[in-house]
Amino acid sequence: MVTFHPSATSLEIRHRHEVLTIEAWGVDSVRVRAAQYRIPAESQGALDVAPASPAPSIEAGDAHATFRHGELTVEVDFDLGAAYPEPLLTFRRTSTGEELLTESREHFWMPGARSYQGNRSGAYEIHQQFAAYDDEKLYGMGQRTHGRLDLKGLSLDLVQRNAEVNIPFVLSNRGYGLLWNMPAVGRVEFAQNATRWSVGQAREIDYWLTAAPTPAAIMARYADATGHVPDLPQWASGVWQCKLRYLDQDELLGVAREHKRRGLPMSVIVTDYFHWSAMGDYRFDEAEWPDPQAMVDELHELGIELMVSIWPTISPLSENFADYRDQGLLVGSDQGVEFHQTIRDKGMTTPMPLAFYDPTNPRTREYVWDLVRRNYLDLGIKVFWLDASEPELNPAHPGNLTLHAGPGAEVANIYPRDNARLFAEGMAAAGQEPTVLLCRSAWAGAQKHGAAVWSGDIPATWLSLEQQIRAGLNIAISGIPWWTTDIGGFHGGDSRDPAYRELMIRWFQYGVFCPLFRLHGDRDPRTPTSYAQTGGPNEVWSFGDEAYEVIADLLHLRERLRPYIHEQMRLAATDGLPPMRPLFVDHPDDPGAWEVEDEFLFGPDILVAPISRAGQRSRAVYLPRGARWVDAATGDVHEGGQTIEADAPLERIPVFTREGSSVPLRP
């Protein structure tokens, strides 16, 4: 027997031990939660407060109920003829009756569509299964290295790793978006026979679904539900310069001065890891950085912001370690001591175990921010690089963690989101404007804290560049409009090698049209990870005269694009529309736009077709229907809805502008 209990904004369904709720959660959107006995009072997910929306219409009978909310209708059916009936949900578009998504049973007998396998702790291994559709295309799920834009047919781990950013939001060409609002470690399978979400340990099922009419509207509803990104600061749209590690104050200032001497623009320069006295001190090593105030002041006179790297790792040699340990500010261990990584930090003769601070603990956030404020912000430093923020575990056992928010198996995926929250809350408490937090990982909702994600420690290869194109588009769909890569890749690359110089040119030509424009990498000759690292040269003049001429032109192009970029960033802040996006976002009625994986729109008026193969000097480019497209290099005009062969000499990649736009691509 099933019972229905409607209220003004929700419908509760009870069957045996299970309680299932459907609640209006923004326009055309619902939140679905299910659990044994009771819905947990606390959630660590991304859905804090329901956005305003009209009241739903709810009808309930003996074995069927209907929940209508704008363009989304949820039908609940209880098949009395089944051997083991359970309430099953079907999501439809209200105006057409079209099926968007429906639950399906794992087995015709049992289990059903929602499976709970207890572990005698009050938590469960949980499965949630939906039907699969042969013609479905799926996008999002954060940032991955599988090299695919369409995720159909893939199995993806729901866990944070270096270069694998788990944001469990998926957008379907069938006209819905779904957020798996559960930060537990698990997996999703977008298989041919079913779509199944599963986690190893959780207390409930919790997901959000919207049926907004277009991909752009779906992303807008998602931003309403999880939070809007701030407006991008004016300084952040320019050139960001970095190498693996500038060893000291003189070296960093020398690079900044040389940029200005050459007439090259620069907005940000980076003091990377090991600039500190010890991990957890969060201050400059005075032996290498004797006068950081003078350094910051000179950079500001040059129009450059200084970004500092801040790792969440705490060395046992830190002057603050006893405070972290004794005040309970560290990530705990289910078994073993509170050390979850090894590295050779300052004062160590060999790599030693390190702890991680726990940003899900409000007291940790206050303690760490106080150090950051006194040692960085008070110097005028307001840009923070939140590296290794997955957190990067060794061994990679998130289920062994215990956090203030809960067991690692249940909540570990929110670590990077709450790490960004630490700095966003701190800046707000200090009366500062929102800043850009360069993060190596994120989860749903991180964007509202100013998280800008980069694609992690990727190899310096052509295949890696090809993968980045898809990775950047999927994380844009996942609600992160601020994104970038290490131009040239991170691991390797010899600035003296002509083959690598070609890759660097092509990566810069792609990077100039990314939301953030940033050079970084550990160039040859490379050395083992430790405080002695510096990495090979990685300045724009390091790659030879031919490359320098092309790259310098791209730096000036970026300057011309900055007003256009900020127009797009304002839309990202208000409407959740990322500036870098797949063609189908602007052209959802063009079937061809849904097939293209290696082109993108940068705002509505620039179409970019990167080159990601060595020696390639032309490529096929699909031009979306519904517009005429102007070749930015030749001025030739082409009708949309066709594929053309476009030239790509070494000095440029194919770029087109929408006819009638006035984007300043030429000097």
Residues designated catalytic: 387, 390, 457
First to last CA, the chain: 72
- Single-letter residue type at 331: V
- CB count in 10 Å sphere of residue 191: 13
Tell me the two tokens of residue 110: 């049992």
Nearest to 162 by CA among 433, 463, 453: 453
Distance CA 456, CA 440 (A): 6
Quick check: helix, strand or coil at residue 190? strand
Element (H, E) at 300: helix 292-301
Distance CA 261, CA 539 (A): 14
Burial environment of residue 625 by CB neighbours within 10 A (0 to 12, 13 to 18, 19 or more): middle
Only one residue has tokens 């500010």, namely 329
Cβ pair 603, 579 in contact under 8 A: yes
Distance CA 475, CA 453 (A): 9
Tell me the two tokens of residue 190: 């977008």
Distance CA 74, CA 266 (A): 52
Cβ pair 465, 653 in contact under 8 A: no
Order of strands, edge to edge, in the sheet holding 313-314?
313-314, 352-356, 341-343
What is the phi/psi pair of residue 379, to 5°? -85, -10
Packing angle of the helix pair 545-575, 215-226 (nearest 10 deg): 70
Cα–Cα distance list, 137 to 148, 402, 490, 642 (Å)? 11, 37, 31, 21
Element (H, E) at 553: helix 545-575
Distance CA 216, CA 188 (A): 24
Ranges assigned E (strand) in 131-202: 138-140, 155-158, 169-172, 176-180, 186-190, 195-202
Cα–Cα distance list, 196 to 29, 91, 258, 268 (Å)? 21, 16, 54, 43
Whether the CA torsion 236, 239, 244, 248 is positive or negative: it is negative
Nearest to 185 by CA among 476, 407, 356, 334: 407
Cβ pair 330, 324 in contact under 8 A: yes
Cβ pair 165, 442 in contact under 8 A: yes
CA trace torsion 146, 220, 215, 476 (10° rounding)? -20
For the range 143-147, what are the long-range contacts, defined as Cβ-Cβ under 8 Å and sequence gap of 24 or more? 143/167, 143/453, 143/455, 143/456, 143/471, 143/472, 143/474, 143/475, 143/478, 143/480, 143/483, 144/471, 144/474, 145/458, 145/467, 145/471, 146/467, 147/463, 147/466, 147/467, 147/470
Tell me the two tokens of residue 503: 């890759």
